[in-house]
Amino acid sequence: MNKSTRKAIIAGNWKMNNTRPEAKELLQAIKPLVANAENNVEVIACVPFTNLETAVNVTAGSNVKIGAENVHFKKNGAYTGEISADMLTELGVEYVVVGHSERRQYFGETDETVNLRTLAALEAGLKPIVCVGETLEQRELGITEEVIAMQTKIALKNTCEKCIKNVVIAYEPVWAIGTGKVATPEQAEDVCAFIRKTVEGLFNKEIADGMTIQYGGSMNAKNCAELLAKPNIDGGLIGGASLKAEDFNTIVQAAVEG
Ligand code: 13P
């Protein structure tokens, strides 16, 4: 494995937070702080749909990229309340979070729909950040690897070798999200390495070694350096700590060092 051949990505996932004026203020604060990361770390803010246009405009010309938090898998049609991949690319959005555990838990997202959303995103030219992660019960049952393998394999079903370069995987153990209970660097490293092995099995070693695999779940300014120093952890998907410019920047800087 050679971490230096992979792109480090620090992405904020704002979840259901921030109105447009708040989004503008936060991004304006983040931009100058992370400007030095341009050549080393991809910095992304994944924001609510209503903030996307504002976010794209505020970050234009900077090294902060914008992502959405979900995307529908149909191109268009009678799907009230949904947003298509083309609608996102037309706004200038580059990334999209797919299969976040909150979507799986509260909105009936399944491995199959995660796969469909991943394919729809790729087809439209978006870069999906595909989330996988076990629940506490699954970890305690000793089936973490089975769950992660299944989620990863189904999510990546039918992705072509050319498109796979645009896929990012985020390992987010459900028990660590928003709980303050972060995975130990060793736990996170083990699962990220396992995801890479799984991707190697699906494609090949070159693709697996080139894939950015993030950790997410209570990553913050204090614990980020240890996590990001691990050989298979190529970045972070940050919830709560991405809502404060200083904290988010500390994580970006840890990735720059890292
Ligand atoms: P927290 O960083 O708030 O635990 O959220 C992690 C997450 O779900 C990012 O997608």
Alpha carbons within 13 angstroms on the beta-carbon side of residue 18 total 27
In angstroms, how far apart are the furthest CA atoms of the chain? 48
pLDDT digits (tens, 9 = 90+) for 121-173: 999 999 999 999 999 999 999 999 999 999 999 999 999 989 999 999 999 99
pLDDT (0 to 100) of residue 1: 45
Cα-to-centroid distance, 239 and ligand 1 (Å): 3
Beta partners for residue 8, in sequence order: 41
Alpha helices in the chain (DSSP H): 20-34, 52-59, 85-91, 101-106, 111-124, 136-140, 144-155, 185-202, 205-210, 224-228, 245-257
pLDDT band of 180, cuts 50, 70, 90: confident
Q: Is residue 2 part of a domain?
A: no
Cα-to-centroid distance, 77 and ligand 1 (Å): 32
User: Cβ-count burial of 25 within 10 angstroms (0-12 exposed, 13-18 middle, 19+ buried)?
Assistant: middle
161 included as an active-site residue = no
Cα-to-centroid distance, 89 and ligand 1 (Å): 24
Q: Is residue 3 part of a domain?
A: no
Q: Is residue 143 part of a domain?
A: yes
CA distance 164 to 208: 10
Dihedral angle of Cα 221, 53, 166, 11, to the nearest 10 degrees? 0
Q: Is residue 207 part of a domain?
A: yes
What residues does ligand 1 touch, defined as CB less than 6 Å away?
13, 100, 172, 177-178, 216-219, 237-241
Helix 52-59 with 20-34: angle, nearest 10 deg = 30
pLDDT (0 to 100) of residue 2: 60
Q: Is residue 238 part of a domain?
A: yes
The CATH number of whichever domain residue 92 belongs to comes to 3.20.20.70
**This prediction's pTM:** 0.97
Q: Is residue 230 part of a domain?
A: yes
Q: Is residue 138 part of a domain?
A: yes
pLDDT (0 to 100) of residue 5: 80
226 included as an active-site residue = no
- What's the domain range around 97? 8-257
Q: How many domains does the chain have?
A: 1
